[in-house]
Chains A and B, each alone.
Chain A
Amino acid sequence: AQTVTQSQPEMSVQEAETVTLSCTYDTSESDYYLFWYKQPPSRQMILVIRQEAYKQQNATENRFSVNFQKAAKSFSLKISDSQLGDAAMYFCACVPNFGNEKLTFGTGTRLTIIP
């Protein structure tokens, strides 16, 4: 079983600045994937970034990057050069590989971008 914890219910950042969203997880699996999903208001959830647990290198996607600390079971998301379109709920999620494939989500962080 997996648990995912997002301890920041809300965050805000000035436009063009950098913000980091925190996520910790717990799993008994040795092989798993971690994800950040974005859910804009009244819009569907979209994938931001994914990380394979067996890879030491942190994943990056344009302005989005993660800090994956496997031993600490920490998986934070850094958004650089924040834009108004980044405003959304951000969910961290974990899924075991070769298992039941169900995503376990955290409770989310609401990100507000201040113009």
Chain B
Amino acid sequence: DTGVSQDPRHKITKRGQNVTFRCDPISEHNRLYWYRQTLGQGPEFLTYFQNEAQLEKSRLLSDRFSAERPKGSFSTLEIQRTEQGDSAMYLCASSLPGTGTTDTQYFGPGTRLTVL
């Protein structure tokens, strides 16, 4: 069990550019979550998938954000036309409900985005 991995770990971009982040969940975890964490705050929910289906999106996820999980394994989060307010840590988590550790989400190391 290698844990949740995210790539890249750090991304610096200029305002207006597009960025894409990748998350690989723990093997066989069917639920995958994206959260955003700004400095001094707790993570805030963005969206989550069960297998390849995106089941819920937060109002924080504007039209410039899109997330996919095409084969029910890894997921990507794309931000188009980045703004300085998008600067944050983007966290991915995964879970496998019903295995005795129901609803425990395991987090990756995060991708820190800086928009200049």
Contacts and interface: CB of A to CB of B under 8 A. Distances in A.
The answer on A and B forming one complex is yes
Interface of A: 4, 33, 35, 37, 43-47, 50, 91, 93, 95, 97, 100-108
Given A102-B33, A107-B40, A97 B45 contact: no
Interface string B8-27: 00000000000000000000
A106 B42 contact: yes
A35 B104 contact: yes
22 contacts: A4-B42, A33-B103, A43-B109, A44-B108, A44-B110, A45-B91, A47-B104, A47-B106, A50-B104, A93-B42, A95-B105, A97-B102, A100-B55, A100-B56, A101-B33, A101-B48, A101-B97, A103-B33, A104-B45, A107-B41, A108-B40, A108-B42
A4 B42 CA distance: 10
B110 A103 contact: no
Interface of B: 31, 33, 35, 40-45, 48, 55-56, 58, 91, 93, 95, 97, 102-110
